[in-house]
Amino acid sequence: MASGAFPRPSTAYRIADLAARDEEVLRIAEKRSADRQHAQGKLTARERVDLLVDPGSFLEFDRLARHRCADFDMDSHRPYGDGVVTGQATVDGRPICLFSQDFTVFGGSMGEVFGEKVLKVVDLATRIGCPLVGINDSGGARIQEGVVSLAYYAELGRRNVLASGVIPQISLVMGPCAGGAVYTPALTDFVVMVDGVAHMFVTGPEVVAAVTGEAVSPQELGGAEVNSEVSGNVHYRARDEEDALDWVRTLLGFLPANNLDGCPVYDSAGAPALTATDLALDTLIPDSPHQGYDMCRVIHAVVDDGDFLEVQKTFAPNIICGFGRVDGRTVGVVANQPLHLAGVIDIDASEKASRFVRFCDAFGIPLLTLVDVPGYLPGVGQERAGIIRRGAKLIYAYAEATVPKVTLAVRKAYGGGYAVMGSKHLGADVNLAWPTAEIAVMGADAAVTILHRRALRALDGPEREAARQRFVADYRKRFATPYAAADRGYVDRVIRPATTRIEISRALRMLRDKRQETPARKHGNIPL
């Protein structure tokens, strides 16, 4: 054929016929897949993609790829795509890469071609620097392909590790996820799980029953409730698939494309004067130190339009982690929640907050810490479970972080809890406090019991109580105030609660171009 000439008509028709045949085969297969998935109350792999990405933006890879296995009569059944849909698209106009497992093809199990497709899209996401979203609905390794399927799980895990801290990685669990398949979601930054439909565990109910004798259902063993509230593996428990995909779209709006890019910046007028929401903070703190209040009210007053996306809401609810915006720019918020265990730090809270702080630091997201903490949770159970080692993770995370760090002491900031919650000593840039803040080694009641036990023991009845009250008042005046810390330079300013939004906005604007050098090293050794 001469250069630049068109194919002969017969050749052109043959090409068109082949393309039409392939498209018809794909259409029929997808119709069968849809029927099977819908019967189980689930969407198909392609329907999930369509709900997640911008209309018309999905560019699919390897749609006609098929497995190469000749064992167990598989050579007579070689569906296109090999059980996974991969490609690149946009969400709100910003690029992402994604894969979506198709449970209707070999149970969504991973074989050689399936694995090649997934690795290709993960590598592409890392090269072009865009978030990776994985939609999981799989029976696990493809038994017919033997050790090859296991090799690709390990290869995928290695890719997840290499991409960690380089691009945001998000996993959605929309159906079964078991065995080696669970470790890819576990290595990603955020995991979303659909309630009542999905389950995730290392060993299934049958194996558990055979080994331990315990009879348990898939949902009891690894359903969304267990993974989101008990084990903490899941960051958001979705009502249904649409809710899960919508949450991921919202999350992506807070995140940068990669570790060298900035978060999206949105227009924010920002009320220059005090609003009714601001003024309400003046009366938020109860008179009784033993009475709780909702720290979310402070968060919603500070972030733009009260828009706050909380992660792991039902796991370790005594600490709050999530994303908001101040002046249109993303901030990561870590806050004690006095409504749960008085905001104390336990093992779960420490690990939850530590991982969130490290994610924010990896992707250049400033940290805002709101403090009302009585300290670490005491008890035999916590000590034996490793509160020393696991509680140290929070110290490590804050000390390691080089992003802008602004901390506000709202009420209690006692003992080790004060130190680890973004204190000046761990490298916070700006530390603010309300006049209601009590920064001390411990609460006044406990301190008086120790410091004045002999004097109190010598008194009886009303005299003892009157003396105790005097000692408590004196301790609070001398030690349990923000002014003692401000005198030392540990608190930069004591502010009126109503001005919190304005003061935090000023601090973050000042720190926008922060630069901090750290010693050269391969990596640290966090107490895992």
Per residue in 4-20, pLDDT tens? Answer: 555 666 665 565 565 56
- Asked if residue 524 is part of any domain, the answer here is no
Q: Give yes or no: residues 285 and 221 share one domain.
A: no
Instruction: Tell me if 242 is assigned to some domain.
Output: yes
Beta-carbon count within 10 A of 75 CB? 11
Q: Do 321 and 349 share a structural domain?
A: yes
Task: With H, G, I as helix, E, B as strand and everything else as coil, classify residue 60.
Answer: strand
Strands (E), 359-404: 367-373
- Residues 151-162 as b/e (b if ≥16 CB within 10 A, e otherwise) read ebbeebeebbee
Average pLDDT over the chain reads 89
The residue among 201, 219, 254 that closes a domain is 254
Same domain, 93 and 163: yes
Examine the domain organization and report whether 231 and 307 are in the same domain.
no
37: in domain:
yes
Name the band, by pLDDT with cuts 50, 70 and 90, for residue 206.
Answer: confident
Same domain, 189 and 133: yes
CA separation for the pair 409, 373 (Å, rounded)? 9
Pair 437, 460 in one domain: no
- Pick from 369, 428, 366, 429: nearest CA to 403: 366
What is the pLDDT at residue 462?
Answer: 82
Looking up residue 242, the CATH number of its domain turns out to be 3.90.226.10
Asked if 449 and 503 sit in the same domain, the reply is no
Lowest model confidence (mean pLDDT) among 25-34, 236-245, 360-369: 25-34
Residues 91 and 223 in one domain: yes
pLDDT in tens, 278-332: 999 999 999 888 899 999 999 999 999 999 999 999 999 999 999 999 999 999 9
pLDDT level of residue 28 (50, 70, 90 thresholds)? low
Cα separations (Å) of 15 from 2, 24, 26, 53, 74? 19, 14, 17, 31, 28
Tens of pLDDT, residue by residue over 469-479, are 787 777 777 77
- 81 pLDDT more than 80: no
Who has greater pLDDT, 72 or 48?
48
What dihedral angle (degrees, nearest 10) is formed by the CA atoms of 167, 172, 173, 179? Answer: -10
Residue partners of 150: CB distance under 8 A and separation at least 6? 141, 180
β-pairing, 132-136 with 169-173? parallel
Verify that 215 and 78 share a domain, yes or no: yes
Min mean pLDDT across 56-70, 196-210, 387-401 is at 56-70
Let me know if residue 9 belongs to a domain: no
- 322 versus 64: the higher-pLDDT residue is 322
Here the tokens at position 27 are: 């259409």
Domain span at residue 379 reads: 276-441+480-510
Please indicate, yes or no, whether residues 43 and 74 belong to a single structural domain of this protein: yes
- State percent of the chain over pLDDT 70: 91
Residues 72, 166 within the same domain: yes
Structural domains counted in the chain: 3
pLDDT of residue 130: 98
Q: Do the domain assignments include residue 393?
A: yes
* Same domain assignment for residues 233 and 209: yes
- Domain assignment present for residue 8? The answer is no
DSSP state of 228: I
Question: The tokens of 267 are what?
Answer: 């227009």
